[in-house]
Amino acid sequence: MDLQLRGKTAFVSGSTQGIGYAVASALAAEGVRVIVNGRGEEAVAAAVARLRSAHPGAEHSGLAADFGNPAQVDALLERLGAVDILVNNVGVFGLAPFADVTDDEWARYLEVNLMSGVRLSRHLLPGMLERGSGRVVFVSSESGVNVPADMIHYGVTKAAMIALGNGLAKLTRGTAVTVNTVLGGPTYSDGVAATVESIAAAQSAPVDAVKAAIIGQNRTTLLERFLEPTELASLVAYLASPLASATNGAAIRADGGVLTGLL
């Protein structure tokens, strides 16, 4: 299917690996010029090289910035021109008892998971509205709807991201700009893979057995496996396309059936 995206420009935050890179690659495969982002120059350069090798049809580039550092974000925004597609993907996650999460850690999660989308959207959405076309896609999580007891700090920031996308969509009335949110389920991203491999090594257990045990703790999953980053990326690419013109202000599930209620 041709998503009619050839010649467009996209910025994908947190896109040197995992879901973000999968999104960047899916867009690049459709002829989009992608600007990738990561915390370090080396990681960004490596991701750009991978994109150029796999999808040579556009001049892909990158901008390094740590979204936990407002000064670095300001510097990035000064260099970031107009784009047709903004994918707010960058995020941090981790398991922790609620009582052990400090104010500083809460601030870090809010800075990266929520304020990254605030700052990027504030910078890029007005231009989209002025031109009358554009796409903003937030990569959130089912944890923003069903907040896990051992990841409350993470779930709260993902819930805030859903609310942000919902509010921004209301600013697009009467234009061809849309703002939507993808609710991802448990995904075998690079970060999750590293955690699983660490657990497997500590338990002297096969990685596949640990993966199955973790997913087995989630009794509502219908897939009964981790999602692959490419499965989320396909939905993001569709929402970024003209084919999704009638979808706006939506929170769309790609959760493998983890959520049991209708949104």
Report CA-CA distances (Å) from 234 to 52, 61, 111, 243: 19, 21, 27, 13
By the 8 A CB rule, do 136 and 179 touch? Answer: yes
The question of whether 154 is a catalytic residue gets the answer yes
**pLDDT of 184 over the 60 cut:** yes
Would you state the torsion angle of the CA atoms of residues 218, 223, 227, 231, taken in this order, to the nearest 10 degrees? -150
pTM, 2 dp: 0.92
Condensed to tens digits (0 to 9), the pLDDT of residues 125-181 reads 999 999 999 999 999 999 999 999 999 999 999 999 999 999 999 999 999 999 999
Q: Which of 94, 100, 176, 106 is nearest to 136 (CA)?
A: 176
**pLDDT of 108 over the 70 cut:** yes
The residue from 21, 109, 154, 188 that is catalytic is 154
3-class SS string, 48-111: HHHHHHHCCCCCCEEEECCCCCHHHHHHHHHHCCCCCEEEECCCCCCCCCHHHCCHHHHHHHHH
In this prediction, residue 263 carries a pLDDT of 53
**pLDDT band, residue 186 (cuts 50/70/90):** confident
3 state SS of 252 = strand
**pLDDT band, residue 97 (cuts 50/70/90):** very high
Condensed to tens digits (0 to 9), the pLDDT of residues 199-248 reads 888 888 888 888 887 777 776 788 878 899 999 999 999 999 999 999 99
> What percent of the chain has pLDDT above 90?
78
Most confident of 49-58, 162-171, 184-193: 162-171
In this prediction, residue 222 carries a pLDDT of 84
Sequence length of the chain is 263
In this prediction, residue 240 carries a pLDDT of 98
